[in-house]
């Protein structure tokens, strides 16, 4: 059997090469929006976050937000470079934000428990501030870290 003619062979689309700078802008804007909302609504915004944590859906909302943001950044990079998203990277982006938010929620629980256990004045306000800080850090980590992991894996693959 003869080899297919070059004209009939399907052109291979290049794989997406993720640059950290793509994700950096999204995380920076997310961070700025969080900061501005915190400055202009210093009481109501933290209250919404603490109430959703007490009702148990803060982590789910954070997972949803970070998954959507990660997907948008990655698909935008793929579209701009006219490249094909590899399955491994897609799976990595689908699972890492959930793992990061899930893991950091344990850290938040631990910080809250420790704050309550210490005999400090104004405990409730301290707990609220800890929850606010962990929510922010969780959001930023869950968008930034998956791209950092992918970037380092790409570097490792390139040097191999």
Partner 1 sequence: MSFKWLVWIGLYLVMGVLVPWATALSWAHQHGSVVRPRPRQLFQRGELGLVGLVVVISAIWNLLQSQFMQQTIALAAVLLAMMGTMAGDVWIETYCRQATGTACDPRRTWRDSRNLAFLVFSVAVVVEILLDRFAKVAAL
- Nearest residue (CB) to partner 1, 11 versus 121: 121
Residue number with CB closer to partner 1 (15 or 129): 129
Residue 24, token pair as written in the block: 């950096």
Residue 23: partners with Cβ closer than 8 Å, 6 or more residues away:
73, 143, 144, 147
- Contact present, 32 and 140 (Cβ < 8 Å): no
Q: Of the candidates 49, 93, 141, 146, which one interacts with partner 1 according to CB under 8 A?
A: 141
Q: Which residue's CB is nearer to partner 1, number 54 or number 114?
A: 114
Q: Does 65 bind partner 1 (CB under 8 A)?
A: no
Segment near partner 1 (CB under 8 A), from 35-43, 63-71, 78-86, 89-97?
Answer: 35-43
- Segment 107 to 136, residues that bind partner 1, using CB under 8 A: 107-108, 110-111, 114-115, 121-122, 125-126, 129-130, 132-134, 136
DSSP 8-state secondary structure symbol assigned to residue 18: -
Q: Which residue, among 133, 19, 14, has the nearest Cα to 82 in the 3D structure?
A: 14
Taking the C-alpha atoms of residue 140 and residue 101, their distance in angstroms, rounded to an integer, is 10
């Amino acid at each position: 059997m003869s080899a297919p003619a070059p004209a009939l062979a399907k052109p291979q689309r290049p794989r997406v090469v993720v640059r950290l700078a793509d994700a950096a802008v999204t995380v920076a804007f997310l961070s700025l929006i969080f900061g501005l909302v915190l400055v202009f609504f210093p009481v109501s915004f933290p209250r919404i976050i603490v109430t959703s944590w007490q009702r148990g859906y803060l982590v789910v909302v954070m997972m949803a937000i970070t998954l959507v943001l990660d997907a948008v950044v990655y698909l935008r990079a793929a579209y701009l470079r006219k490249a094909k998203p590899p399955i491994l990277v897609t799976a990595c982006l689908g699972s890492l934000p959930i793992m990061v938010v899930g893991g950091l929620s344990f850290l938040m629980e631990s910080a809250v428990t420790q704050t309550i256990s210490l005999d400090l004045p104004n405990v409730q306000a301290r707990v609220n501030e800890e929850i606010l800080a962990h929510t922010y850090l969780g959001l930023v980590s869950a968008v930034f870290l998956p791209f950092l992991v992918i970037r380092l894996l790409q570097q490792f693959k390139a040097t191999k």
